[in-house]
A and B are shown apart, each in its own frame.
Chain A
Amino acid sequence: MIPVLGLLAGLAVGLFLDPSVPVWLQPYLPIAVIAALDAVFGAIRAILDGIFNDKVFVVSFLSNVVVAAFIVFLGDQLGVGSQLSTGVVVVLGVRIFSNVASIRRHLFKA
């Protein structure tokens, strides 16, 4: 419950402050959001499985975001940024779907 409140508080702060993101950072935002979603759904599934660990969550979250951003950065430098972004989105998207399916089985037994 408290983490959910934290999430909402973070949303409110972000909406209220409306910080301007530097232009060079903007290509990484969508990928970072996808990576963060992946980590969050993984954490929810771990909670439901009864094996949640806060350190693992934090480390997986940060490494997901950093690695995803790095791949996009590398792709930009090599001139294949959009293709690599697509690859990251596909891999993380599949993981999100699988984790959400598992969460659904836990919650609805279906």
Chain B
Amino acid sequence: MTLLTTMMERPLDAGYQEAADRRVAAGLPGATSTRTVLVVVLAILTGFLFAVAAQSLRPKPTAAAAVKKELVTRIEALQKHGTDQEAKVAALGKQVRDYEALALQQSGGTDLTSTIKDLEVQAGAVPLTGPGLTLTLDDAASTDAGADAGNRPSSGFQEGRVTSGDLQIIVNGLWGAGAEAISINGHRLSSTAAIRFAGQAIIVDFRPLSRPYVITALGDSQGMQQLFEPSFAGLYLSQLTDEYKIRSIMAGSDSLTVPGDSAVRLEVAEPVGPPVGSTAPGTTTLQQGTTTPKRSAGAGVAPTGTGASTTRSPSDTPSGTTDSGTGSPASPTSEETPS
């Protein structure tokens, strides 16, 4: 292996030694000066080469990246706008509920107030606070690289990413473990909420999420954890962590808040028994009604007795009662969806 030996043991060009020998034989010093024009020119050239290579081989921000940045700013602005509007909706919803409660109180229907509260909690229409678990999921660290590369990933699926299917299984596992209310990244999961994916993004109730995914589940945190971990979803989660390095942190807490679902709207309303006074027997029809009985509870049940507040058959109930004045704030809302 003469080639390797030469390469390892005499890495210096033999030409240097020969030239030095020639110069010594001619009576000159072995080495020339390093300050000759040739050397300086070549040094400049070398520096230029290094700089050019470094610059041209570095990934450059492309025109697409600029457009993407612009789009990101617009998306963020609109998302902020959306969040503001949601807060407004929540505030207005609370106002409406207060009016409803007031109307009920004035008409003497206090029994209904508690029913409505109960139903609103079950439907996910109101924010809840209590003990619970937070489960934070994040993509594997290996997928971090290239996230800012300026172009979207061309390959369809990356192993280390959290998918909507993962979230579905975990959320269902949490429900199964006894969670009473769940939100993901601040989006309340009502019974009509869907976790889906579009392209690379996970979408909850038509709102795209960005990582990390924080699942907040209210309930008995100790009990939930004990039930969740040996369940299918718990094992699935630990598999995700082991196999694909998806990061997950579960933590219990004494006071967590899940927001109300602002998208709750009236879908079906039914009259509750005889209008004025005797309210108790009819309340069961509400619970069969829909998953989102907020408005129906407020308007359809309104003991004002104005049958116009039901969506199905405004004419089949008695009308023109004495309380129609107090019922007026509630009745107009019955047939429209809250914005």
Main secondary structure of the interface of A (DSSP, over half): helix
* A47 interface residue per 8 A CB criterion: yes
Contact-size category for A? 35 or more
* B31 interface residue per 8 A CB criterion: yes
Q: Is the CB of B42 within 8 A of A11?
A: no
Contacts of A56 in B (CB 8 A): 13, 15-16, 19
Q: Is the CB of A10 within 8 A of B19?
A: no
* B169 interface residue per 8 A CB criterion: no
Q: Is the CB of A14 within 8 A of B12?
A: no
Question: 9 shortest A-B CB distances, which residue pairs?
Answer: A10-B47, A14-B51, A6-B43, A51-B20, A98-B11, A10-B44, A53-B19, A11-B47, A10-B48
Contacts of B9 in A (CB 8 A): 98
Chain A residue with Cβ nearest B24: A51
Residue-by-residue, is A9-40 near B (CB-CB < 8 Å gives 1, otherwise 0)?
11111110011110000100110110010001
Q: Do A29 and B40 contact each other (CB < 8 Å), given the known contacts A14-B47, A99-B11?
A: no
Q: Do A45 and B51 contact each other (CB < 8 Å), given the known contacts A13-B44, A94-B7, A95-B7?
A: no
Contacts of B48 in A (CB 8 A): 10-11, 13-14
Among the listed A2, A49, A96, A102, which residue makes an inter-chain contact with B34, where contact means beta carbons less than 8 Å apart? A2
Query: Which residues from chain B sit less than 8 Å from chain A, CB to CB?
Result: 7-9, 11-13, 15-17, 19-20, 23, 30-36, 38-57
Contacts of A3 in B (CB 8 A): 34-35, 39-40, 43
Q: Closest CB of chain A to B124's CB: distance in Å?
A: 56
Main secondary structure of the interface of B (DSSP, over half): helix
* A59 interface residue per 8 A CB criterion: yes
Q: How far is the CA of A60 from the CA of B55 in the complex (A)?
A: 25
Q: Closest CB of chain B to A9's CB: distance in Å?
A: 6
Q: Closest CB of chain B to A44's CB: distance in Å?
A: 10
Q: Do A42 and B32 contact each other (CB < 8 Å), given the known contacts A6-B44, A11-B51?
A: no
Contacts of A20 in B (CB 8 A): 56
Q: Closest CB of chain B to A97's CB: distance in Å?
A: 8
Residue-by-residue, is A48-64 near B (CB-CB < 8 Å gives 1, otherwise 0)?
01111111111111000
Chain B residue with Cβ nearest A95: B11
Q: Is the CB of A51 within 8 A of B30?
A: yes
Contacts of A47 in B (CB 8 A): 31, 34
Q: Is the CB of B11 within 8 A of A36?
A: no
Q: Closest CB of chain B to A29's CB: distance in Å?
A: 4
Q: Closest CB of chain B to A4's CB: distance in Å?
A: 7
Contacts of B41 in A (CB 8 A): 6
Chain A residue with Cβ nearest B47: A10
Q: Do A14 and B16 contact each other (CB < 8 Å), given the known contacts A3-B40, A98-B11?
A: no
Q: Is the CB of B47 within 8 A of A51?
A: no
Q: Is the CB of A6 within 8 A of B51?
A: no
* A67 interface residue per 8 A CB criterion: no
